[in-house]
Amino acid sequence: MHLLAHRGCTQQHPENTLAAFASALALGFTGIETDVRWSLDGEAILYHDRLSPRGQAVAALTRKELSHQAGFIVPSLNEALDAFPDAFWNIELKTPDGLASILATLAKIQHKTPMLLSSFYHPLIQEAANTLDTYLGLLFASRPLSVNTLLEINYASSKIKTLIWDFEILDPLYLDEAQRLGFAHFVYGAANEIEHEGCRNLAIEGIITDYPEWVGLGSAPRWQ
C-alpha cells in the first residue's frame, strides 16, 4: 500500500515546502501529495489555499509576493520534481490555469518520475488523458449516485483508473463495484488511529495522510 504524506510532513514544517517533502521521505513515506496552482508571473507553484494569508487571490500574486505573505519560499512544481525525482508524486491540479504548461512539464518527466495526477475538477484529468501516459485519478468529496458514474468515467477515458475518496464518504460496497470495473482506490482525510486502521482493512492502493504515527512511521525528523 502506498503511504503518501499529505502536503509533506507538516508537523514541523510549512505544508507544501521542500523541507516538508524531505522530512516525509526521510521518515519512510512512499511519496508526497501536493497541490498545484498558477501564479501571476506564470509559474506552476505548490500551494493549497485559493487565497493568500492576506486574503488575496493566489492567482493574482507572483510567487515572490505569495512567498513574502506566507512567510516561507513557495516552491515551484519544477523545483520539487527536480529535488525528489524518485518520489511517488500525487499532484493535485486545483484550477485550469496554466494547464497546458503544467501538462507539458509532466509529459517530459512522466516516464522517469512516478506520479498520480488528480483533481476535483474532473475535466482537467480528462484533458490530461489526451497527452499523458501516467496514472490519472479523480478526487471525490461526495459519493456518486450510482455505478453509472463509473461507466461514464470509463467512457470518457480508459486511462482514468484511480479514484481518490474523502474518508467521510467511503462506501465499501461502492468501492467493490468500482474495483470490479478496474478502478484502484486511494483515501484521504482519515483523522484518528481507528480510521486509519479502517483504511488498512479496505482493498485500496494507498492512504494520503497527515499522521505518520498512525501508519507506523513515528515522528518526523526536523530538516534545517
Write out pLDDT tens, residues 93-127: 999 999 999 999 999 999 999 999 999 999 999 99
Name every residue whose Cβ is closer than 8 Å to that of residue 185 and which is 6 or more positions away in sequence. 162, 163, 164, 165, 175, 178, 179, 202, 203, 204, 205
The reported pLDDT for the residue numbered 82 is 97
This prediction's pTM: 0.94
pLDDT of 224 over the 60 cut: no
Q: Cα separation of 59 and 51, whole Å?
A: 8
pLDDT of 32 over the 60 cut: yes
Q: Give 221's pLDDT tier (boundaries 50, 70, 90).
A: low
The reported pLDDT for the residue numbered 218 is 75
User: Can you tell me the mean pLDDT for 58-65?
Assistant: 98
Share of the chain above pLDDT 90, in %: 94
pLDDT of 220 over the 60 cut: no
SS3 of the chain: CEEEEECCCCCCCCCCCHHHHHHHHHHCCCEEEEEEEECCCCCEEECCCCECCCCCEHHHCCHHHHHHHHCCCCCEHHHHHHHCCCCEEEEEECCCCCHHHHHHHHHHHCCCCCEEEEECCHHHHHHHCCCCCCEEEEEECCCCCCCHHHHHHHHHCCCEEEEEEEHHHCCHHHHHHHHHCCCEEEEECCCCHHHHHHHHCCCCCEEEECCHHHHCCCCCCCCC
